[in-house]
Amino acid sequence: MANTYTQIHIQAIFAVQNWQSLIKSVWEVELYKYITGIIQNNGHKVLQVNGMPDHIHVLFGLRPAQGLSDLMKLVKQDSSKWINSKGILNGRFSWQAGYGAFSYSKSQVPQVIKYIQNQKEHHKKSSFQEEYLKLLETHEVEFDPKFIFQNIK
């Protein structure tokens, strides 16, 4: 889009179905690279990817040519297919429905990058559920608690 200038920084967080710890350290970096490729191939700029066995954080610059929900659908759909095609898990892999997405100013980006890089250390002190609720509250996102952490059967 000619004459369109934006600076939109988004941290997206999404969890493994039923918060199972399925992302293994032996292939997590390869998964992060794959997710980075999906986002970059759609014209966006990845700034940081990291996570835990049960969830992932991605900080990226969102370009206005594609909606966030369309991008997240592709990321989750294509990465699930990639994991399942590799045969690295017993059973079928899928992501939990939905995601969290939070916007940041340029001045906040270095702090968010550091936060994402330090996920493993951070989660020695707090659970994913605690982290997610804190982000929702900090960003003043309205939510119904009964839909946040229910297991899918």
Of 40-49, 105-114, 128-137, least confident by mean pLDDT is: 128-137
Tens-digit pLDDT profile for residues 45-56: 999 999 999 999
For the chain, domain boundaries: 9-148
Q: Report helix, strand or coil for 143.
A: coil
Rounded distance, CA 61 to CA 44, Å? Answer: 6
Q: Which tens digits make up the pLDDT trace of 117-151? A: 999 998 999 989 899 999 999 999 998 877 776 65
Q: What CATH number has the domain spanning 9-148?
A: 3.30.70.1290
Least confident stretch, 25-34, 70-79, 119-128: 119-128
Alpha helices by DSSP H, listed for 23-148, are: 25-41, 68-86, 109-117, 119-122, 128-138, 145-148
Q: Is the pLDDT of residue 153 over 50?
A: no
